[in-house]
Amino acid sequence: MTVTIYDVAREAGVSMATVSRVVNNNPNVKPATRKKVYEAIERLGYRPNAVARGLASKKTTTVGVVIPDISNSIFAEVARGIEDIANMYHYNIILCNADKKKEKEIRVINTLLEKQVDGLLFMGGAVTEEHEQAFRTANVPIVLCATTDEKGQIPSVDIDHEAAAYDAVGKLISNGHTRIAMISGTLQDPANGYARFQGYKRALQDAGLPYDDEIVRVGNYRYESGVEAMKYFVELADRPTAVFAATDEMAIGAIHCIQDSGLHVPEDISVISVDNSRMASMVRPQLTAVAQPMYDIGAVSMRLLTKLMKKENVERGTVVLPHEIVERQSVGGISK
Amino acid sequence: MTVTIYDVAREAGVSMATVSRVVNNNPNVKPATRKKVYEAIERLGYRPNAVARGLASKKTTTVGVVIPDISNSIFAEVARGIEDIANMYHYNIILCNADKKKEKEIRVINTLLEKQVDGLLFMGGAVTEEHEQAFRTANVPIVLCATTDEKGQIPSVDIDHEAAAYDAVGKLISNGHTRIAMISGTLQDPANGYARFQGYKRALQDAGLPYDDEIVRVGNYRYESGVEAMKYFVELADRPTAVFAATDEMAIGAIHCIQDSGLHVPEDISVISVDNSRMASMVRPQLTAVAQPMYDIGAVSMRLLTKLMKKENVERGTVVLPHEIVERQSVGGISK
DNA sequence: CTGTTAGCGCCTTCAG
DNA sequence: CTGAAGGCGCTAACAG
């Protein structure tokens, strides 16, 4: 039924070792025999069994990447960066979706490890004790991608979320806004949630503006939660003149809510966020946002992982990529 | 270094066969020894090697799914359906992104097959001769997901794209529109491209409306191509009063282009599309669209695949799921 | 209920 | 440059 390396060997009149060599591009094969083997492979339709190969060689040339939420375009972009570099180094990548559930994250990490991936890229939210536990028992390198662990023990590549938020809010402040609301992510999420919230607070503080928890709401990163939060702000007696959303999608929800209330962006309320996903230009007015270099985060983390897998020594295990603000039309000045 | 089933056996004072049994939940193990084994596993931190298991059992309990474009939210939703059912039947799924490139599709299909997946779900564009070639040499079941092959030889689950397009355009027609433009996908793409275009033409024809290729443009499914196409239509002397876009994203691009030109949706131009992705409600005005049941397409195809993998016999290999029109605010009547 | 014994398909020394 | 032989870690009969 299934044709094995042995069949090919017989067909080509060589030993299976030789077939193995040509399949693995080992140079120590005479061109003539190499050709014979290729022909036999072709004739028989031989397809190497990666499972057997993995068992024998103890390498699978595949890296597992766990995606928190496949329907989030941010991660899609990061994945593109990962893939491009992976291809470059001849690694296969297998994606596993974790549905933003911690329990599922742990599960896929373990499945991936059981499948003997040569390395693991973890994009996700919080890195808990349980995660670290799972990572510790892995005997392959792991790098965190678009997230970090609190202790900074695990190699990672990410932006400085606190600073990104600080800059976003700073932009609003420098435009004259003094009553700035925030639509935050969950505070349990260290990167997209907590850190961005901290950046918001620090920016306020540095500008001598009061912090008022009346104008911060916690959303779940989705569009709908952005409109919900904004609905609340819009009805406030002392309505904010600007809002900082932790993510693009919530920002877009906020913009639409503002418009649905008969107000205008940015004339009545300015909106800014962190992310700069493709969606940022898919709204009217187009969204001003602090951009995180998604593709690069993916590419750099994959590159780091290849080094780790080859046991090359790396200088810095945790790399922080720069962010920048991209100005579009959702932020205005305060003139009243 | 790595702890094997053999180590566990020694630690627990049983044979490796027994360890294998408890790991695989074979009922034929005395509770007491089962407990001993579990303890040994715990103590040693044993993690089964899926590669070795796969080689020995000739099953990997994983199915491969190839995604044409990970950054397309449509596929993300389909993937969710796939995953839920896969979990239900205890299959792991590994996602492989093909970047909308045929060459890469073929490559990931082969990698997946080499990895000995127990089945394959192919979401993609055209199923070419080369695809069929790759499928043919696979000796595991394959089902097409959100696409079909022309000959209908390969099991598949999808909607009737031609009819969906027909209904979308029909909606416009019944609202009184007679000059209806189309932003199509590439005609090489049988499902989202060609079929939807055919539906458009048939609807026109059945209504006795002339077909005018001045008002059909081919886009690439992305937002930008939607605005490009619309830009062309908007400047036409005999400007269309409605446009049918093959996908949501292009429709949203069209809406924004219309608005950027100082016109209004749906007052000046109505917009409708096929898909009904999450983004359909993330525009103003919200997009009226023919909905394809993405989640169900994923779920049903995965269910079908499980049957095929278990060699149960299935009645119909190609299933067509119903679509429906969901009305929001982007379609208006014609009153001038 | 439990142990023994063959492999699964391939890679990898080690000889020659 | 090529062949022979011994596993990789686990499952699957087959005995007992």
Would you call B45 and A83 a contact, using CB atoms and an 8 Å cutoff? no
Euclidean distance between the first and the last CA atom of chain B, given in angstroms as a whole number: 80
Are B50 and A115 in contact (CB < 8 Å)?
A: yes
* pLDDT for residue B335: 66
Q: What is the CATH number of the domain that holds B203?
A: 3.40.50.2300
Closest CA to B287 of B322, B254, B335: B254
A252:B80 CB<8 A: no
Chain D nucleotides near the protein (CB, 7 A): 1-13
Kindly report the average pLDDT of chain A as a whole number. 94
Return the HEC string of chain B: CCCCHHHHHHHHCCCHHHHHHHHCCCCCCCHHHHHHHHHHHHHHCCCCCHHHHHHHHCCCCEEEEEECCCCCHHHHHHHHHHHHHHHHCCCEEEEEECCCCHHHHHHHHHHHHHCCCCEEEECCCCCCHHHHHHHHHCCCCEEEECCCCCCCCCCEEEECHHHHHHHHHHHHHHCCCCCEEEEECCCCCHHHHHHHHHHHHHHHHHCCCCCCHHHEEECCCCHHHHHHHHHHHHCCCCCCCEEEECCHHHHHHHHHHHHHCCCCCCCCCEEEEEECCHHHHCCCCCCEEEECCHHHHHHHHHHHHHHHHCCCCCCCCEEEECCEEECCCCCCCCCC
Asked whether the beta carbons of A241 and A270 are under 8 A apart, the reply is yes
Which of A53, A73, A94, A259 should be substituted to probe chain B, the one whose Cβ sees the most B Cβ atoms within 10 Å?
A94
**In chain B, what residues touch A80 (CB-CB under 8 Å)?**
70-71, 97, 99
Q: For chain B, how many residues are written?
A: 336
Domain that holds residue B36: 5-48
B211: left (phi over 0), alpha (psi -120 to 50) or beta: beta
- Residues contacting residue B24 through CB under 8 Å, at least 6 positions apart: none
| Contact assessment for residue A12 and residue A36, using Cβ atoms and an 8 Å cutoff | yes
Do A119 and A198 lie in one domain? The reply is no
Q: Does A330 map to a domain? A: no
Do B143 and B234 lie in one domain? The reply is no
Is the CB of residue B223 less than 8 Å away from at least one CB of chain A? yes
CA distance A205 to chain B (A): 34
Each residue's pLDDT, cut to its tens digit, for chain B (336 residues) gives 689 999 999 999 999 999 999 999 998 888 989 999 999 999 999 999 999 999 999 999 999 999 998 888 899 999 999 999 999 999 999 999 998 899 999 999 999 999 999 999 999 778 999 999 899 888 899 999 999 988 889 999 999 999 999 999 999 999 999 999 999 999 998 889 999 999 999 999 999 999 999 999 999 999 999 999 999 999 999 999 999 999 999 999 999 999 999 999 999 999 999 999 999 999 999 999 999 999 999 999 999 999 999 998 888 889 999 999 999 999 999 865
Note whether residue B215 is domain-resident: yes
Contact A55 B60 (CB under 8 A): no
A165 and A284 fall within a common domain: yes
Q: Is residue A332 part of a domain?
A: no
CA distance A202 to chain B (A): 32
Number of C-beta neighbours around residue B236 at 10 A: 12
Q: Which residues touch strand D (CB under 7 A)?
A: A 13-18, 21, 27-30, 32-34, 52, 55-56, 58; B 2, 4-6, 16-17, 20, 23-24, 46, 48-49, 52-53, 55-57, 59
Verify that B219 and B129 share a domain, yes or no.
no
Which residue from A113, A279, A284 is facing B256, i.e. has the nearest CB?
A284
**Considering the domain boundaries, does residue B332 fall inside one?**
no
Do B40 and B19 lie in a common domain? Answer: yes
Question: How far apart (Å, rounded) are the C-alpha atoms in residues A208 and A178?
Answer: 9
**B263 occurs within a structural domain:** yes
The per-residue pLDDT for A314 is: 86
Burial class (CB in 10 A: 0-12, 13-18, 19+), B245: buried
Residue B81's φ and ψ, nearest 5 degrees, are -65, -40
Q: What is the pLDDT, as a whole number, of residue A317?
A: 87
Residues in A touching B110 (Cβ below 8 Å): 47
Closest nucleotide to the alpha carbon of B37, via C1': C2
pLDDT values of chain A reduced to their tens digit, one per residue, 336 residues: 689 999 999 999 999 999 999 999 998 888 989 999 999 999 999 999 999 999 999 999 999 999 998 888 899 999 999 999 999 999 999 999 998 899 999 999 999 999 999 999 999 878 999 999 899 888 899 999 999 988 889 999 999 999 999 999 999 999 999 999 999 999 998 889 999 999 999 999 999 999 999 999 999 999 999 999 999 999 999 999 999 999 999 999 999 999 999 999 999 999 999 999 999 999 999 999 999 999 999 999 999 999 999 998 888 889 999 999 999 999 999 865
Nucleotide showing the shortest C1' distance to residue A55 CA: D8
Q: Which of residues 271-300 of B touch A (CB under 8 A)?
A: 278-279, 281-284
**Shortest Cα distance from A53 to chain B (angstroms)?**
9
Q: Are residues B192 and B248 in the same domain?
A: yes
Domain identity same for B148 and B218: no
Give me the CA A24–C1' D1 separation in Å, rounded.
16
CB burial string A62-78: b at 16+ within 10 A, e below: bbbbbbbbbbbbbbbbb
* Measured distance CA(A276)–CA(A292) in Å, rounded: 7
Distance B248 CA to D13 C1' (A): 56
- State the nearest residue by CA to the C1' of D6: A56
The CA–CA distances, whole Å, from A128 to A64, A119, A133, A151 equal: 19, 19, 9, 11
Residues B144 and B169 in one domain: no
**Residue A335, domain member (yes or no):** no
Cα B252 from Cα A88, distance rounded (Å): 35
Whichever domain contains A34, its CATH number is 1.10.260.40
Taking CB atoms and an 8 Å cutoff, what residues of chain A touch B96? 92-95
Q: Which nucleotides along chain C are within 7 A of a protein C-beta? A: 1-5, 7-13
* Co-location of B169 and B285 in the same domain: yes
Whether residues A120 and A267 share a domain: the answer is no
Per-residue 3-state assignment (H helix, E strand, C coil) for chain A:
CCCCHHHHHHHHCCCHHHHHHHHCCCCCCCHHHHHHHHHHHHHHCCCCCHHHHHHHHCCCCEEEEEECCCCCHHHHHHHHHHHHHHHHCCCEEEEEECCCCHHHHHHHHHHHHHCCCCEEEECCCCCCHHHHHHHHHCCCCEEEECCCCCCCCCCEEEECHHHHHHHHHHHHHHCCCCCEEEEECCCCCHHHHHHHHHHHHHHHHHCCCCCCHHHEEECCCCHHHHHHHHHHHHCCCCCCCEEEECCHHHHHHHHHHHHHCCCCCCCCCEEEEEECCHHHHCCCCCCEEEECCHHHHHHHHHHHHHHHHCCCCCCCCEEEECCEEECCCCCCCCCC
Q: Note whether residue B216 is domain-resident.
A: yes
CA distance A310 to chain B (A): 18
Q: Are B141 and B305 spatial neighbours (Cβ–Cβ below 8 Å)?
A: yes
CB-CB under 8 Å, A48 with B95: no
Same domain, A154 and A301: yes
Q: Which residues of A touch B253 (CB under 8 A)?
A: 282
Q: Does B333 map to a domain?
A: no
In this structure, are B203 and B228 located in the same domain?
yes
For residue A297, CA distances in Å to A160, B183, B315 come to 12, 34, 47
Return the number of other C-beta atoms located less than 10 Å from residue B130's C-beta.
14
List CB contacts (< 8 A) between B279 and chain A: 282
Distances (CA, A) of B164 to A3, B177, B246, B278, B279: 44, 18, 10, 18, 19
> Chain-centre distance of CA A79, in angstroms?
7
Peptide bond preceding A155 in cis form (omega within 30 of 0): no
Query: CA A121 to CA A315: how far, in whole Å?
Result: 19
Could you give the number of structural domains in chain B?
3
